[in-house]
Amino acid sequence: MNTPLKRTPLYDAHVKAGARMVPFGGWEMPVQYAGIVEEHRTVRAAAGLFDVSHMGEFEVDGPEALPALQSLTTNDVSALDIGQVQYAALCYPDGGIVDDLTVYRLGAERYMLTVNAGNIDKDWEWVTTHGAVARWRNVSAETALIAVQGPHAEALVGALADRGVTDIGYYRFVHGVVGGVHTLISRTGYTGEDGFELYVAAADGTRLWTALLDAGRAHGVAPIGLGARDTLRLEMRYALYGNDIDATTNPLEAGLGWIVKPAKGPFIGRDAIEKVRAAGVTRRLVGLEMAERAVARHGYPVVRDGAPIGIVTSGSYGPSVDRYIAMAYVAVEHAAIGTEVGVEIRGQAKPARVVKTPFHPSRTKK
Amino acid sequence: MASVPAELKYTKEHEWAKREGDRVRVGITEYAQEQLGDVVFVELPKVGAKVTAHKAFGVVESVKAVSDLFAPISGEVVETNGELPQKPETVNKDPYGKGWMIVVKPSSAAEWDQLLSAQQYEQFVSEAAH
């Protein structure tokens, strides 16, 4: 593949800040600035800024928008108020996952979907093919997205906003001006901390980023790379598309049954998912804690008494829990909390245990 | 530019080697630890194990990556850094000092001369970066 890597509007700011840039899902993104563990701790203790402009945004509007979304996503879009956000999945007819996404209800008949960076082209093709009745607009390239996450996020965004942000509920959003920039202020995130995701015009991205960093620096706010974004979400057991969920996994085994609403009516994948529900899942995405220092990584086998029972999907050292943790699909009969298993690392089964998740308590706004 | 002490020898796999009498102390370079990022796991051979030049003798893992550790020189492991398994971050903090990995009693003196000098290693790293 020789496709040139894409850059977000904040690319220059990252390079100037000394970030290490790496390819990620077709993009050249900052993996770290000061170091993954330090950045992770900054988010839990103060707040961090994440450039997530690589993510995709699609708008859909008109009288056919709701019916199209209802047939595309697993969740019940009709339950959304204007100003509300919903987590959902797009599924294939066989129940495999096309992508996971958030759905924003912007107006009476207007919605925005935020999708994973690496899936933008695939998702665009999918929604415009299977939701062809509605009017779609791919606004990914016009949009910059900055996440502000951590206990100081509310004070930081509040100080720069032309309106109060305290009253914005979890998975709710408002429009406002932040740091002089028109912003969709969304109380969402991917870290388990309170915080916001700020959607702005691509041309305003650097201005908002700089304003947030300048105002936050004295309070310990720092830019955070994709490395810490990954360890933060892992401690919360949030699924990452391509690691923990993909076309070969269904939402039920991934623990995403709560975003599947079969009662809303037909949607792509419903019949297959309901069949799985009726028969019972055969494997489950569980949290593992290693008994010793050992890093379980994507693709490592999970074993019990020498026999394979599953596979690791994500794993790392968790800086806030100070444990070596992982997510893995394991056969249901071995999925109970407390089950002692092994993770095969370089040919050696290292002891691990199925544990309750999240690994680290969530502090998102309730 | 990461520091490259002049008195050490180096490999293209970013290990350093330091002669201490008839033994050789081994670790990874400042450049290597910077590239790895936060080291969270180090696996070293046992004392008495044989290592072979250019072959893996252990593993170092950072949050993002797994890397083999390559022996600069063949011989027998006579000492290992017992602190590293418990404090892997020492590799980041002091790669040329407390972050050392093993001490080898070399079986072949000739291999020493094939290692890179500080100047050669510096050149190698600066070329790899471009």
- Portion 339-358 of A in contact with B at CB < 8 A: 346
Yes or no, beta carbons of A293 and B37 under 8 Å apart: no
Taking only the tens place, the pLDDT of each residue in B82-98 is 999 899 999 999 999 99
Partners of residue A38 in chain B, C-beta under 8 Å: 38
Pairing of strands A340-345, A323-331: unpaired
Assess contact for A233 and A191: CB atoms under 8 A. yes
Structure confidence at residue A3 (pLDDT): 73
Partner residue facing A294 (CB), from B41, B62, B63: B41
Q: Which amino acid is at A182?
A: H
Residue A67 has a CB neighbour count (10 Å cut-off) of 15
Residues of chain B positioned with their CB less than 8 A from the CB of A37: 38, 63
Percent of chain A residues past pLDDT 90, beyond the cut: 98
Give the phi and the psi of residue B78 in degrees, each rounded to 5.
-110, -10
Say which amino acid occupies A292: E
Three-state SS string over chain A comes to CCCCCECCCCHHHHHHCCCEEEEECCEEEEEECCCHHHHHHHHHHCCEEEECCCCEEEEEECCCHHHHHHHHECCCHHHCCCCEEEEEEEECCCCCEEEEEEEEEEECCEEEEEECHHHHHHHHHHHHHHCCCCEEEECHHHEEEEEEECCCHHHHHHHHECCCCCCCCCCEEEEEEECCEEEEEECCCCCCCCEEEEEEEHHHHHHHHHHHHHHHHHHCCEECCHHHHHHHHHHCCCCCECCCECCCCCCCCCCCHHHCCHHHCCCCCHHHHHHHHHHCCCEEEEEEEECCCCCCCCCCEEEECCEEEEEEEEEEEECCCCEEEEEEEEEHHHCCCCCEEEEEECCEEEEEEEECCCCCCCCCCC
Sign of the alpha-carbon dihedral angle for A140, A146, A151, A153: negative
A32 in contact with B, Cβ within 8 Å = yes
Would the CB atoms of A295 and B85 count as touching at under 8 Å? no
pTM, full prediction: 0.93
In angstroms, the CA A64 to CA A131 distance is 9
Strands A48-51 vs A222-223: parallel, antiparallel or unpaired? parallel
Residues constituting chain A: 366
Tell me if chain B has a CB within 8 Å of the CB of A297: yes
Partner residue facing B38 (CB), from A36, A324, A346: A36
**Contact at CB, B41 and A36, closer than 8 angstroms:** no
How many Å separate Cα A85 from the centre of its chain?
A: 13
Mean pLDDT, residues B32-56: 95
- Subunit contact B40:A293, Cβ cutoff 8 A: yes
Dist. CA B115–CA A34, nearest whole Å: 32
CA A27 to each of CA A30, A31, A52, A55, A298: distance values in angstroms, whole numbers, following the listed order: 10, 11, 11, 10, 21
Among A217, A149, A157, A159, CA closest to A183 = A157
pLDDT at A4: 86
3-state class of B104 per DSSP? strand
User: Is B129 a residue whose pLDDT tops 80?
Assistant: no
Residue B113, min C-alpha distance to chain A (Å): 33
In percent, the amount of chain A with pLDDT more than 70 equals 99
CA A270 – CA A262 distance, rounded (Å) = 6
A36/B66 touch (CB, cutoff 8 Å), yes or no: no
How many CB pairs (< 8 A) connect A and B? 37
pLDDT at residue B10 is higher than 80: yes
Contact A32 B37 (CB under 8 A): yes
Q: How far apart are CA B45 and CA A93, in angstroms?
A: 51
| CB nearest to A293's CB, from B37, B41, B92 | B41
How far apart are the CA of A56 and the nearest CA of chain B, in angstroms? Answer: 25
Residues of B in contact with A227 (CB under 8 A): 37, 63-64
Only one residue has tokens 């269904």, namely A250
pLDDT band at B2 (very low <50, low <70, confident <90, very high): confident
Is 0.85 exceeded by the ipTM?
Answer: no
Q: What's the DSSP call for residue B118?
A: H
Among residues A235, A161, A225, A156, which one has the least CA distance to residue A192?
A235
SS3 call for B51:
strand
Nearest CA in chain B to A314: B64
pLDDT tens per residue across span A61-114: 999 999 999 999 999 999 999 999 999 999 999 999 999 999 999 999 999 999
Interface contact flag, A37 B66, Cβ < 8 Å: no
Nearest by CB to residue B85, choosing from A293, A295, A316, is: A293
- Chain B contact set for A294 (CB, 8 A): 41
Chain A: give the shortest CA distance to residue B104, in Å. 24
Residues of chain B found within 8 Å of residue A31, distances taken between Cβ atoms: 64
Residues of A in Cβ contact (< 8 Å) with B88:
293
CB contact under 8 Å between A36 and B64, yes or no, is yes
Residues of chain A found within 8 Å of residue B86, distances taken between Cβ atoms: 293
For the segment A327-345, the average pLDDT, to the nearest whole number, is: 98
Separation of alpha carbons A22 and A144, rounded Å:
19
Residues A118 and A52 sit within 8 Å (Cβ to Cβ): no
User: Could you tell me which residues are beta bridge partners of residue A143?
Assistant: A201
pLDDT at position A1 over 70: no
Rounded CA separation A32/A212 (Å): 18
**Amino acid B64: pLDDT:** 83
Q: Average model confidence (pLDDT) for chain B?
A: 94
Shortest Cα distance, chain B CAs vs residue A243, angstroms: 14
- Pairwise CA distance, residues A135 & A68, whole Å: 10
Instruction: Give residue-wise pLDDT tens across range B45-77.
Output: 999 999 999 999 999 999 988 999 999 999 999
The single-letter code of the amino acid at A250 is N
- What pLDDT sits at residue A2? 60
Cα distance from B37 to chain A (closest Cα, Å)?
Answer: 6
Q: Are the beta carbons of B103 and B78 closer than 8 angstroms?
A: yes
Give the number of other CB atoms < 10 A from CB of residue B114.
13
**Confidence band, pLDDT 50/70/90 cuts, at residue B108:** confident
Contact B99, B86 (CB under 8 A): no
